[in-house]
Amino acid sequence: MSIHDDPNIDKPNNAEPNDDTPNGDKSRSLPDNPFAGLTRAAADSEDSDERWMEEALRLARLAELAGEVPIGAVVVSEGRYVIDTDADGRPLDRRIVDRRIIGRGHNQVVSLSDPCAHAEIQALRDAGRTLGNYRLNGCQLFVTLEPCAMCAGAIVHARIARLVFGARDPKAGAVGSIMEILNHPHLNHRIRIAEGVLAGRCMDILQSFFRQRRD
């Protein structure tokens, strides 16, 4: 059981949320190339991780309105690299453009009577339909809560390149909280991971939801 389903989950009281910086970003540097000495402007997002997490939070609020545990997720496409140059044509910087949301999802386990209808699963399904492919190579998944074991497994099967999540799930999180499914040494797919993006707001909406349920 995960926080998606359990209204009695304990909430961490000693966490220090950071809504400005994606703490714990384990993203690897870009592959070596002739521009390897350049700075990495927006190397992992077109604008910022917060931009995409804001949409995940909007979806979480939709779940809340439907009486579901408020968790939201989006899948963002790979985009493409652009090299900026100076007046003499010398490379100055590299950045990624043309990123867009290709999959959206929020918790729907109650409304669909589906134990698998977690926000991440719904977003991955939507992205797969958009691309016409179950492999989402190069894409990123943004979710308001640390994925559970089921969702972590789906992330691996989808070949997501990077996972960004907001708050940790101390009861069922499978990205380090109670187990580590992603980047397991026996798996052949590696995923870059960032956590803590808008963590305070991601946890606040969950705590508010359960507080109202108890009142």
Per residue in 114-152, pLDDT (tens digit) is 999 999 999 999 999 999 999 999 999 999 999 999 999
pLDDT mean across residues, the chain = 82
Residues acting as catalytic residues = 120
> Residue 92 — pLDDT band, cuts 50, 70, 90?
confident
Residue range 61-80, pLDDT digits in tens: 999 999 999 999 999 998 76
- On the question of pLDDT at 41 being above 50, the answer is no
Structure tokens at 94: 């590299």
Name the more confident of 24 and 96: 96
- Give residue 160's pLDDT: 97
**Nearest by Cα to 118 from 79, 77, 165, 162:** 165
Residues 6+ apart with CB under 8 A from 132: none
